Structure 1
């Protein structure tokens, strides 16, 4: 199928892009196009206008503050995110999630904003769950200026019409974080993925793929805090699996030949692996 049923424009600045998105019903943001263009070709998505934001300098780059917080531009590619030294040091779960996306071609074209926004189309992608574990916020620009939402709140609804993801804001947290994934063999989207970050208050745990949307599992966190680590920050696989077995089965969405019981167990296994990886980073 030849993609010709829409108009295309490359704005020269962020303000122009926002005007186009806000004034044109059916306008869609084009960044890497790794999800949108195949969906348009397959007929599962439609667009009246594609607004290409890939070259907007306002949306590019990774900057760090003195306290370790990061601002990651929405047009930053997944390849750039995966290998950036600031991200590897301060938010390794985000770097690992970016590395887990597809193949090198996908990572060279796909963007941070596009991967985060895919949740609005009902797709499980890797960055949202890592952003939730990192306690990150998604910065948006729209008619009323800029504001930000917690990553989990953004994952529940996706970008509102007329708004554009401009950056991912990651608070200072340190390197005690990790990401693990089991991919669907056909699509490479996560069948299940887990991201964790160890904090002084205990672990932050988020899961996607096996759940209706990317979720922070606060009840699992609470059970692990109640059990307590066996040594400093160390949780056994048995304790993690027990915490997941106590979750209601309806939390996990069966499909693609899987059951809720299997996905709940898989989420626990991946979380246990991620916690061990994060615990090892504390000692580096």
Structure 2
């Protein structure tokens, strides 16, 4: 299919992008375009104006302030996967970026675009939730932050621009696992974990309606052990309606798969934390 008609503007600054968003109903922000442009071709997405922010240097790059990483929204998935600060402090995010698509997608796709895509499961949101990350959003009222779980539920609010992801740097006690659809590379199921002094943080996507933190599973595993048997038992106690059947899979299968991937991720995270 071909793209529908829309206007195009290249924003010279974040402030100009916000002004254009506020002044046009149906305006959309264009970053890597790996989700938005295919959606426009198929009709799944609509836009009257595309606001190109790809050249705004202030939205790119990774830095560290104390115990927190600041990852610019225009940082590509390839840059995220290779960044030494991310690999050391938030390995679940680096692994999720490496698992995303193919090299062409990772070289163009951005952190912000992957986090903002709510129409299909993507890899970064589940890792961001497990990491306890916050999204930094700029809008008419200034800059604010929101939990990554909130962003996964509702997307970027109209009139705002996702500018960065703020991630606690927790070291190596984190991991990501994924079973991908062979045709699209989207996750059939993906799980991300981070082991903290208060217990594990566990999030799942693909098998669930959206990227979700599984607090019930966390509570059942608090204090350990993180054996496969214990993890699968914790997942069996979750309501089956939490898992959404599709693509020839049942809720029972997806619940089991989510447990298997979580057990693998917890085993790797625990091994790294004790190394």
TM range (shorter): over 0.9
CA offsets 1:98-118 (integer angstroms, 9 cap, x no match):
000000000000000000000
Task: Tell me, in whole angstroms, the C-alpha distance in 1 between the residues paired with 2:242 and 2:33.
Answer: 31
Indicate conservation of the 8 Å contact 1:68/1:174, yes or no. Answer: no
Structure 1 window deviating more from structure 2 (1-10 vs 89-98): it is: 1-10
How far has the Cα of 1:68 moved from its partner?
A: 2.9
1:98 aligns with 2:104: no
Q: What SS class does the counterpart of residue 195 from structure 1 fall into?
A: strand
CA offsets 1:155-177 (integer angstroms, 9 cap, x no match):
11001101000000012322200
Other-structure match for 1:111: 110
1:251 aligns with 2:247: no
TM-score (norm 2): 0.98
What 5-or-longer segments of structure 2 have no aligned partner?
A: none
What 5-or-longer segments of structure 1 have no aligned partner?
A: none
Task: Tell me, in whole angstroms, the C-alpha distance in 1 between the residues paired with 2:137 and 2:110.
Answer: 15
Indicate conservation of the 8 Å contact 2:76/2:110, yes or no. Answer: yes
Indicate conservation of the 8 Å contact 2:121/2:211, yes or no. Answer: yes
Distance 1:2 1:252, change over 3 A: closer
Indicate conservation of the 8 Å contact 2:4/2:40, yes or no. Answer: no
Q: What SS class does the counterpart of residue 206 from structure 1 fall into?
A: strand
Provide the aligned length of Structure 1 versus Structure 2. Answer: 275
1:214 aligns with 2:205: no
Matches within 5 A, 1:57-206: 57-65=57-65, 67-119=66-118, 122-206=119-203
Other-structure match for 1:280: 271
Q: What SS class does the counterpart of residue 204 from structure 1 fall into?
A: strand
How far has the Cα of 1:4 moved from its partner?
A: 5.7
Q: Which runs of 4+ in 1 moved over 6 A?
A: none
How far has the Cα of 1:2 moved from its partner?
A: 4.0
TM-score (norm 1): 0.95
Task: Tell me, in whole angstroms, the C-alpha distance in 1 between the residues paired with 2:45 and 2:63.
Answer: 34
Task: Tell me, in whole angstroms, the C-alpha distance in 1 between the residues paired with 2:224 and 2:93.
Answer: 25
Q: What SS class does the counterpart of residue 166 from structure 1 fall into?
A: strand
